[in-house]
Amino acid sequence: MAVYVVTWNLNKERSNYAQARKEFIENLNRYENVGDPALETVRWVSTTWSAAQISNDLRTKMDDNDRIFISQVTAGTNSGWLNRDVWDWINSKL
């Protein structure tokens, strides 16, 4: 399985933002994933799907003015400042 970083932005100006966010997160949570509490709209996902497949799936809960970016994480090519449990999860999947 691969690990992907998924980051998104839902348009907060829509009238149903709270419901749209709930549905998006529920869809995202179908994947094995971890998030750092300091990064509200970022998750790391472990799956056999490709970045395009994940994007197509998650976009079913998004509007055209929302945005999403997904990129595969490769061992030895990442760095950052995250909670230790997030790093442990990521490293255990790579």
Q: How many domains does the chain have?
A: 1
Mean pLDDT, all residues of the chain? 95
Residue 44 has pLDDT above 80, yes or no: yes
- In order, the DSSP letters of the chain are -EEEEEEEE--TTSTTHHHHHHHHHHHHTTSEEE--TT-TTEEEEEESS-HHHHHHHHGGGS-TT-EEEEEEE-TTS------HHHHHHHHHH-
Tell me how far apart the alpha carbons of residues 45 and 20 are, in angstroms, rounded to a whole number.
Answer: 20
pLDDT of residue 24: 97
pTM of the predicted structure, to 2 decimals: 0.93
Q: Give the residue-averaged pLDDT of 59-88.
A: 95
pLDDT band at residue 54 under the 50/70/90 scheme: very high
pLDDT band at residue 81 under the 50/70/90 scheme: very high
What residue type is 68 in one-letter code?
Answer: I
Q: Which domain holds residue 82?
A: 2-93
> What's 10's domain CATH number?
3.30.70.240
